[in-house]
Amino acid sequence: MSTTTRADELREAKHPVYSDRALRLGTFGTNLQQGAAITSIDGALEATWPSTLELAQMGDRMGFEALVSVGRWRGFGGSTDFNGAGFEPFTWAAGIGASTTTSGVFSTSHVPTIHPILAAKQAMTIDHVTNGRFALNVVTGWHTAEIEMFGAPLLPHDERYEVAREWLHIIREMWTAEEPFDFEGKYYKVEGAVCRPHPVQRPHPVIMNAGGSEAGRHFGARECDVAFVLPSAHDFDTLKKLVDDYRALAKNEYGREISVWGNAYIVQGDTEQDARDYLHSYVHDHGDWDAVENLVQTFGINSQSLPPEVALGMKEHFIAGWGGIPIVGTAEQIVENLGMLVRAGFDGILLSWARYIEDMKRFEEEVHPLLIQAGLR
């Protein structure tokens, strides 16, 4: 009996996300206005094709393993209408995939916004465009006004994952079935479904999920290859426990191995104080506090009911980089902190910057060579 696992197959296939580097890296949200920073600072990312293409090709040049889009259908108001402008993830991935050579290219897909037959066919097409570098990030939706744009109510939280299981089951069958198939579940019914050709990746493309709830964690551990996690705190012990617990859930409950990724925002300066001054400027002097209040409310968080210091800290992290892990300091300190995340057990980290293009160029010139010297890349 073969003991080859799905993770073994992905490593053997050499999908970029399963590279053998100690630290795998990616970009996050480059398909959207402002990216991951809720700020109006001069140089913030604009939603233009030349800008998003430049970032993708910069990441590709550094051998980044992942270019991850964010699915967004409307913004969060405020003076910037944060993320209100942006490119649709499947068509974005096709264009980016045709313009890069090595990085994994992710489409983020909200389950309620697209039929699984169409999602499967589009994903298959992108996998051929990229010669097997495509990955699908499955999300169930949480921004009520966004989902209601499609004429359907946002279902109760855990039920969204029941829908997602059927949705993903149909997609995997589309990618792998040799003959047309029928499926009838609680939420979907398809007859004679077929997808030709199959994806380049066999048996099927990499699947990621970003659910942080208990239902979301179980969905990721059971159904997906990569888990994208958003930590509640950023100290080493908390981060290590988060990663260890997710891996244990996948192994003990479902007999599976899962890759765990997180996200971090990079704030670089000539000195640590320089970096902290930059962070304060784009968060406190140029942050869109109305937009971040709207954002946390869509999560069901009433910031007025939290202790003031807790509410402030939460909003600061969201403005700085979508609640990611803060990595602030000199080039050497950035390398040290990314190394800490490797020791905590993360397989990869998606990065973002406030002045995305300008700051990522500096990262490429000053930080990435040091990561290579440190043996992390």
Residue 120 lies in a domain: yes
CB 322 within 8 Å of CB 235:
no
Tell me what the pLDDT averaged over the chain comes to.
94
For residue 141, being part of any structural domain is answered with: yes
Does residue 1 form part of some domain?
Answer: no
Average pLDDT (7-27) is 92
Per-residue confidence (pLDDT) for residue 303, from 0 to 100: 57
Structure pTM? Answer: 0.95
User: How many whole angstroms separate alpha carbon 347 and alpha carbon 23?
Assistant: 6
How confident is the model at residue 13, as a pLDDT?
A: 85
State the average pLDDT over residues 312-320: 92
Does pLDDT of 120 surpass 80? yes
pLDDT for res 180 = 97
Angle of helix 89-98 versus helix 116-129 axis, rounded to 10: 10
Domain presence at residue 305: yes
As a whole-number percent, the residues of the chain with pLDDT over 90 amount to 85
Q: Is residue 352 part of a domain?
A: yes
Distance spanning both ends of the chain, measured CA to CA = 36
Domain that holds residue 87: 6-373
Check residues 313 and 335 and name the one with the higher pLDDT: 335
Q: What percent of the chain has pLDDT over 70?
A: 97
pLDDT of 306 reads 64
Q: Which residues pair with 168 in a beta bridge?
A: none
CATH code (residue 363): 3.20.20.30
Question: Per residue in 318-370, pLDDT tens?
Answer: 999 999 999 999 999 999 999 999 999 999 999 999 999 999 999 999 999 99
Q: Is residue 260 domain-resident?
A: yes
Q: What is the mean pLDDT of residues 102-128?
A: 97
pLDDT of amino acid 2: 56
Q: Give the total number of structural domains in the chain.
A: 1
Beta-strand ranges (E) seen in the chain are 24-28, 66-68, 104-110, 134-139, 181-184, 189-193, 206-209, 226-228, 259-268, 325-329, 348-352
**Whole-number pLDDT of residue 305:** 59
- Residue 156 falls inside a structural domain: yes
Q: Read off the amino acid at residue 310.
A: V
Q: Which two tokens stand for residue 374?
A: 């440190």
Burial environment of residue 179 by CB neighbours within 10 A (0 to 12, 13 to 18, 19 or more): exposed
- Banded pLDDT at 170 (limits 50, 70, 90): very high
- pLDDT confidence of 301, banded at 50, 70, 90? low
Structure confidence by residue, pLDDT tens digits, 18-75:
999 999 999 999 999 999 999 999 999 999 999 999 999 999 999 999 999 999 999 9
pLDDT digits (tens, 9 = 90+) for 227-269: 999 898 999 999 999 999 999 999 999 999 999 999 999 999 9
**More confident site: 168 or 153:** 168
Residue 89, in any domain of the structure: yes
Contacts of 314 (CB under 8 A, 6+ apart): 296, 301, 303, 306, 323
Give the pLDDT confidence score for residue 304 in this predicted structure: 60
Reported confidence tier of residue 302, pLDDT bands at 50, 70, 90: low
pLDDT in tens, 187-228: 999 999 999 999 999 999 999 998 888 999 999 999 999 999
